[in-house]
């Protein structure tokens, strides 16, 4: 080949390299914030020249700082270990105990089940447990962590080979190890080594997830024997107790499905025990006559057969305990801590018996192909169970069965009953239930006090229950005081649960003989019923009603026990009551119209008249009579059928599904909306101001429409700056509910005096370490929940993240939701108060908790746009109540302060046929007007990018645009990365130029976002001298170098080619 050809070819190669380098560089810049997070680099730094009045608003506790004010990573990790241990110990629920627990000091125990070696600590996707962890055998037998050799794992697919591989959640650990006081047992090394060996092929991980065709992957006895045929020889030495761990994971994006289990495992459902799991239990029985089962799952596993098995001596539910939570489990097993948790979900004998299970999974409209034009709008679920979610179904049906009403003893919905529906057969363990190692006497300390006050049209009514708890046993322990209520029900009237949790409290650690009076204040608005047919007399329908009549309240060991106590007070036939009943634990009171008016709660705490806002949530609103919702008037006749192949005939319904919500106006007069006024007020001056402070109007008027629109368009993780008010683009938001997902040495706040340096030996500690949300809820301990929020608030200071996309706050509609591990409970009161405490705790350190997913994310299947249909009563009393409690946070309101959560993330799902993101009823009328929410309300990632106008005018404040950054440079309002708009509009800085409503909405969104940020620890960094400094990174240098070198070489080869060509010509 002639030189001319070589130079020409090389010039072509370098042209290609140059072009690719430019493209790669441009792409990297567009996603620089995400690249930085992934690689631990930093592209820009927020710098404040004047160091006066910075880092003085929120600071970590002194005990987590060194003497020079820098962060003490060792102390922080130790505090996390201690708190996770406490979380697990208080959340663990003792379900059964034949006296075997606590185990004797120095016991020699054997562990069975592969999850005893590879426990489920977090989720494969979503809320992971990251970094070094303490395994069960370590917690039982060791006194020192071994993080260097025990790092949690997760599965991922190698896209090059297609192979699923197990990978560590952090790149090794060379930091500190920590001493702990373990249980002091010895653990059978033969069994642990067998399971360790077996997991080389099983590929279990500590962060795992469900699947549509699930296989728990429990090795068979033959496989165990194949590893070590003599394994049973070890039983004699380690036979003081046999502990079996049964695991079922939960994770984002995947559900369990009805019947979704691999064939041949000996189980019909994914949460039922398989043959190999039963065999592992049988081995445990061979090993010891003291058999303990640990249920390592955030979901309700079907353990009815274990409850009834006399050879199973104890059962503990331990949830997904997090990285260090096994210490708490060991505390329970060894008796260092007496169990005090209560189940956050009912454990049915068969999960399929829940009415919600008749309609979960993958449902598509029969005629979707012919009438649906919008993406992710072809799936639905009919939530025909109405308000009867979780224990509300089982307990209400039980109550009606006792009273012989509503055909409750029919056969519809029977799965475990022999003939007529039988509570005892259908339910293994009830909601709120949990045992202890000690005993308590509980009694009302005086009459419960009902207090009613009015402020204008707003009624506040509370009932305060003072319950004296006395430890009558031999060991110290805590006791939750769960207050339940029952409102008067008229057959055929508005649906009401026969029992519902209203609030709860918990004692401190009571020594034997010690007493404590726990005061639990119940907000009576939560026993009111939402009647969506109520005629308000002003042309609107639907509001909260409090029917006059006899109201019953009771405490008890869970909902069932409390209901039994009410039954006793009502003198219902004791022979038919299942379980204990004590009338003295219940309390009845007449609520007359004079005391609290029937419609007293029809005006919200903000003074807004409550009426239907979600009519379109109900399928029957569009196509009347096609759906029958479960009613206690006739359990037999209304038990849900599966609504498959629903056909869309209503044009209004079809239009909603196709995204026809809002058309951006182009010719409205917008002159009343002030933008771009000259002014000196700067954002840093807004720290801690009330939402209604008049300075906000001044500040907002200084902004340009384009700046406000940027804020609304790009809601995180990087949030754009606005030059007019002195803010700069900042990385502000991250996941997740169990810790901030940023390494300790990769803080986004590089100027903070307490920063952990990059060379700190513990620098790659990742703060996502805590246990699953149900474990927190199961503690029934408001103080612990607040403490968790505080700690994650502290983490946010160390990682520079002022807004947390968490915790999860949806309802466990059923046990099969893959995301149950991220959400607290099936009960909105328990969820709401838990989240409220967490959020208030986090705020103390300037962290804005933004719970997700508001609302109705009732399954992960088809989560991107699935349409859940339900009654508005169900929506408000079950799904929304948890959010309402957290946002209203009346417990923390003072004369001066309206406390509450200041953030949320909107659900991918719809409500009825309407996207939650565009539902003005949900986002504005209920959230902002009724509950008084003020703050940051972001969509889920890239959700509804095709509905720009509708989303930004609904009340949602901004889009989650994870990955995008470089605002005003690479990422602009003309970004083509937003999908084409359903309404035909084109996103630009001028798109709202002629739309007064949209401009007002964008302005209000800017107000809300800035208000939330002004309440956060971001304000630590701001003053008049704050600005951004661009930094170089190795990846930026690399592509710069690639561009430079390839450009030079292209030019060089081009010149050589031309010279060679010229020579060629001359030679010719």
* Site residues, other proteins (CB under 8 A): 1-2, 4-6, 8-9, 11-13, 15-16, 18-20, 22-23, 26-27, 30-31, 125, 159, 252-254, 373-376, 861-862, 864, 941-942, 945-946, 963, 976-980, 982, 1054, 1057-1058, 1061, 1064, 1068
The CB-of-990 to other proteins minimum distance in angstroms stands at 17
340-376 residues labelled b (16+ CB within 10 A) or e (exposed): bbbbbbbbbbbbbbbbbbbbbbebebeebeebbebeb
**CB of 54 or CB of 130, closer to other proteins:** 130
What span, in angstroms and rounded, lies between the C-alpha atoms of 936 and 933?
Answer: 9
**CB of 444 or CB of 968, closer to other proteins:** 968
What span, in angstroms and rounded, lies between the C-alpha atoms of 269 and 276?
Answer: 14
**In contact, 820 and 774? CB cutoff 8 Å:** yes
The CB-of-364 to other proteins minimum distance in angstroms stands at 11
Three-class secondary structure assignment of 367-404 = CHHHHCCCCCCCEEEECCCCCCCCHHHHHHHHHHHHHC
List, in sequence order, the alpha helices (H) in 624-772: 635-638, 651-657, 695-702, 705-713
The string of DSSP letters for 755-783 reads: PPPTT-TTTT--S-----HHHHHHT--HH
| Phi, psi for 523 (deg, rounded to 5) | -85, 115
**CB of 1027 or CB of 1062, closer to other proteins:** 1062
Task: Enter the tokens of residue 545.
Answer: 């009603």
Q: What are 246's strand-pairing partners?
A: 295
Task: Give the pairing of strands 314-317 and 449-455.
Answer: unpaired
The CB-of-157 to other proteins minimum distance in angstroms stands at 8
The CB-of-13 to other proteins minimum distance in angstroms stands at 6
The CB-of-2 to other proteins minimum distance in angstroms stands at 8
Task: Enter the tokens of residue 495.
Answer: 């649906």
What span, in angstroms and rounded, lies between the C-alpha atoms of 1059 and 1068?
Answer: 14
The CB-of-1054 to other proteins minimum distance in angstroms stands at 8
- For residue 565, give the DSSP letter: H
The CB-of-916 to other proteins minimum distance in angstroms stands at 17
The CB-of-664 to other proteins minimum distance in angstroms stands at 17
The CB-of-949 to other proteins minimum distance in angstroms stands at 16
What's the Cα-to-Cα distance from 564 to each of 349, 354, 553, 558, 769, rounded to whole Å? 20, 21, 11, 10, 39
The CB-of-1064 to other proteins minimum distance in angstroms stands at 8
**CB of 1045 or CB of 1058, closer to other proteins:** 1058
Of 881, 858, 882, which Cα lies nearest the Cα of 870?
Answer: 858
Q: What are 869's strand-pairing partners?
A: 382
**CB of 560 or CB of 863, closer to other proteins:** 863
**In contact, 484 and 555? CB cutoff 8 Å:** yes
Helix, strand and coil in the chain, % to nearest 5: 35, 20, 50
Q: How far is CA 859 from the centre of its chain?
A: 13
Of 963, 941, 959, which Cα lies nearest the Cα of 950?
Answer: 959
Say how many C-beta atoms besides its own lie within 10 A of residue 460's C-beta: 16
Residue 710's SS3 state is: helix
Residue 974's SS3 state is: coil
The CB-of-808 to other proteins minimum distance in angstroms stands at 14
The CB-of-963 to other proteins minimum distance in angstroms stands at 6
The CB-of-375 to other proteins minimum distance in angstroms stands at 4
The CB-of-26 to other proteins minimum distance in angstroms stands at 7
The CB-of-658 to other proteins minimum distance in angstroms stands at 10
The string of DSSP letters for 861-897 reads: TTTTT-EEE--HHHIIIIIHHHHHHHHH-GGG--SS-
**CB of 27 or CB of 66, closer to other proteins:** 27
The CB-of-1035 to other proteins minimum distance in angstroms stands at 16
**CB of 110 or CB of 153, closer to other proteins:** 153
**CB of 355 or CB of 378, closer to other proteins:** 378
**In contact, 130 and 173? CB cutoff 8 Å:** no
The CB-of-975 to other proteins minimum distance in angstroms stands at 8
**CB of 27 or CB of 651, closer to other proteins:** 27
Q: Which helix (H) or strand (E) holds 1027?
A: strand 1026-1030
**CB of 3 or CB of 285, closer to other proteins:** 3
Task: Give the pairing of strands 153-157 and 241-248.
Answer: unpaired
**CB of 375 or CB of 893, closer to other proteins:** 375
**CB of 27 or CB of 143, closer to other proteins:** 27
Q: Residue 87: which region, alpha, beta or left (left: phi > 0; alpha: psi -120 to 50)?
A: alpha
Task: Give the pairing of strands 186-187 and 122-123.
Answer: unpaired
What span, in angstroms and rounded, lies between the C-alpha atoms of 770 and 321?
Answer: 7
The CB-of-15 to other proteins minimum distance in angstroms stands at 5
> Is residue 163 classed exposed, middle or buried when 0-12, 13-18 and 19+ CB atoms within 10 A define those classes?
exposed
**CB of 381 or CB of 794, closer to other proteins:** 381
What's the Cα-to-Cα distance from 909 to each of 667, 852, 854, 945, rounded to whole Å? 33, 12, 9, 14
**CB of 377 or CB of 1026, closer to other proteins:** 377
Q: Which helix (H) or strand (E) holds 1043?
A: helix 1034-1067
**CB of 683 or CB of 1053, closer to other proteins:** 1053
**CB of 332 or CB of 914, closer to other proteins:** 914
**CB of 2 or CB of 1027, closer to other proteins:** 2
**CB of 379 or CB of 884, closer to other proteins:** 379
């Amino acid at each position: 080949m002639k030189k001319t050809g070589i130079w020409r070819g090389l010039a072509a190669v370098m042209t290609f390299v140059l072009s690719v380098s430019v493209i790669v560089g441009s792409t990297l810049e567009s996603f620089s914030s995400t690249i930085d997070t992934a690689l631990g680099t930093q592209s820009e730094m927020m710098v404040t020249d004047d160091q006066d009045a910075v880092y003085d608003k929120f600071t970590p506790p002194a005990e987590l700082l060194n003497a020079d004010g820098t962060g003490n990573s060792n102390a922080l990790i130790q505090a996390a270990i201690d708190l996770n241990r406490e979380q697990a110990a208080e959340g663990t629920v003792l379900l059964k105990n034949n006296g075997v627990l606590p185990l004797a000091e120095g016991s020699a125990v054997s562990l069975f089940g592969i999850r005893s070696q590879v426990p489920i600590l977090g989720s494969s996707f979503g809320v992971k447990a990251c970094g070094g962890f303490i395994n069960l055998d370590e917690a039982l037998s060791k006194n020192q962590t071994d993080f260097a050799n025990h790092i949690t794992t997760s599965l991922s697919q190698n896209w090059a080979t297609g192979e699923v591989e197990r990978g560590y959640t952090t790149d090794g650990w060379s930091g500190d190890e920590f001493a702990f006081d373990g249980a002091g047992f010895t653990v059978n090394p033969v069994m642990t080594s067998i399971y360790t060996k077996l997991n080389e092929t099983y590929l279990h991980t500590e962060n795992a997830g469900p699947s549509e065709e699930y296989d728990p992957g429990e090795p068979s006895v033959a496989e165990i024997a194949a590893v070590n045929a003599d394994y049973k020889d070890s039983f004699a030495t380690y036979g003081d107790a046999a502990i079996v761990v049964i695991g079922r994971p939960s994770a984002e994006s995947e559900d369990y499905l009805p019947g979704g289990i691999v064939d041949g495992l000996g189980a019909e459902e994914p949460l039922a025990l398989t043959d190999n799991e039963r065999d592992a239990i049988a081995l445990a029985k061979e090993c010891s006559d003291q058999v303990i089962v640990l249920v390592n799952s955030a979901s309700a596993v079907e353990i009815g057969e274990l409850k009834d098995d006399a050879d199973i001596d104890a059962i503990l539910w331990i949830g997904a305990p997090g990285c260090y939570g096994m210490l708490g489990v060991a505390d329970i097993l060894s008796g260092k801590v007496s169990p005090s948790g209560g189940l956050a979900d009912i454990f049915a004998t068969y999960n399929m018996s829940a009415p919600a299970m008749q309609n979960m999974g993958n449902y598509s409209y029969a005629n979707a192909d012919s009438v649906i034009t919008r993406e992710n709008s072809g799936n639905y679920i009919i939530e025909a169970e109405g308000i009867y979610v979780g224990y509300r179904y089982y307990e209400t049906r039980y109550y009606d069965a006792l009273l012989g009403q509503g055909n409750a003893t029919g056969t519809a919905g029977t799965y475990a009953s022999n003939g007529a529906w039988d509570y005892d057969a259908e339910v293994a363990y009830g909601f709120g239930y949990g045992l202890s190692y000690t005993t308590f006497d509980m009694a009302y300390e005086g009459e419960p006090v009902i207090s009613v006050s009015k402020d204008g049209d707003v009624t506040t009514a509370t009932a305060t229950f003072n319950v004296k708890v006395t430890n009558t046993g031999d060991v110290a322990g805590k006791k939750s005081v769960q207050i339940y209520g029952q409102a008067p029900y008229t057959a055929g009237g508005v649906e009401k649960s026969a029992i519902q949790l209203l609030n709860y409290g918990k004692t401190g650690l009571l020594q034997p003989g010690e007493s404590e009076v726990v005061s639990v204040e119940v907000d009576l608005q939560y026993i009111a019923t939402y009647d969506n047919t109520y005629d308000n007399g002003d042309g609107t329908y639907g509001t909260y009603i409090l029917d006059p009549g006899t109201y019953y309240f009771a405490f008890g060991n869970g909902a069932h026990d409390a209901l039994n106590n009410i039954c006793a007070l009502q003198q219902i036939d004791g022979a038919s009551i299942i379980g204990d009943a004590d009338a003295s634990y219940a309390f009845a009171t007449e609520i007359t119209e004079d005391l609290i008016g029937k419609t007293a709660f029809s005006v919200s705490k903000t003074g807004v008249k409550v009426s239907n806002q979600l009519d379109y949530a109900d399928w029957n609103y569009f196509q009347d009579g096609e759906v029958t919702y479960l009613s206690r008037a006739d359990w037999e006749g209304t038990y849900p059928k599966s609504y498959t192949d629903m056909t869309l005939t209503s044009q209004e319904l079809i239009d909603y599904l196709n995204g026809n919500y809002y058309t951006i106006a182009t010719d409205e007069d917008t002159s009343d909306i002030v933008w771009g006024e000259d002014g000196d007020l700067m954002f840093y001056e807004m720290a801690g101001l009330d939402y209604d402070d008049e300075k906000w109007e001044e500040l907002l008027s200084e902004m340009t429409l384009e700046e406000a629109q940027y804020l609304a368009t790009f809601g995180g993780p990087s949030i754009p700056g606005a030059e007019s008010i002195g803010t700069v683009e900042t990385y502000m938001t991250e996941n997740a509910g169990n810790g901030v997902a940023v390494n300790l040495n990769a803080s986004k706040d590089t100027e903070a005096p307490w920063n952990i340096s990059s060379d700190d030996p513990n620098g790659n500690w990742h703060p996502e370490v805590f246990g699953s949300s149900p474990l927190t809820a199961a503690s029934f301990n408001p103080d612990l929940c607040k403490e968790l929020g505080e700690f994650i608030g502290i983490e946010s200071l160390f990682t520079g993240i002022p807004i947390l996309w968490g915790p999860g706050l949806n309802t466990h509609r059923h046990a099969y939701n893959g995301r149950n591990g991220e959400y607290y409970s099936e009960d909105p009161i328990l969820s709401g108060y838990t989240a409220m405490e967490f959020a208030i705790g986090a705020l103390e350190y300037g962290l804005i908790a933004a719970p997700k997913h508001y609302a109705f994310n009732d399954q992960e299947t088809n989560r991107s746009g699935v349409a859940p249909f339900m009654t508005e009563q169900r929506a408000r009393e079950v799904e929304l109540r948890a959010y309402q409690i957290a946002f209203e946070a009346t417990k923390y309101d003072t004369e001066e302060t309206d406390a509450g959560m200041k953030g949320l993330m909107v659900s991918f799902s719809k409500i009825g046929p309407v996207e939650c993101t565009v539902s003005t009823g949900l986002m504005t009328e209920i959230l902002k007007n009724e509950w008084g929410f003020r703050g940051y309300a972001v969509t889920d990632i890239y959700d509804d990018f095709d509905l720009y106008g509708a989303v930004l005018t609904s009340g949602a404040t901004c889009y989650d645009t994870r990955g995008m950054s470089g605002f005003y440079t690479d990422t602009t309002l003309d970004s083509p990365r937003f999908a084409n708009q359903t309404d035909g509009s084109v996103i630009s800085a001028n798109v709202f130029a002629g739309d007064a409503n949209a401009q007002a909405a964008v302005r209000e969104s800017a107000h809300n976002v800035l208000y939330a940020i002004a309440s956060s620890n971001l304000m630590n960094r701001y003053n008049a001298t704050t600005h951004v400094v661009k930094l170089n990174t190795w990846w930026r240098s690399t592509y710069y170098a690639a561009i430079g070198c390839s450009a030079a070489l292209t030019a060089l080869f081009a010149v050589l080619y031309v010279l060679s060509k010229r020579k060629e010509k001359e030679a010719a």
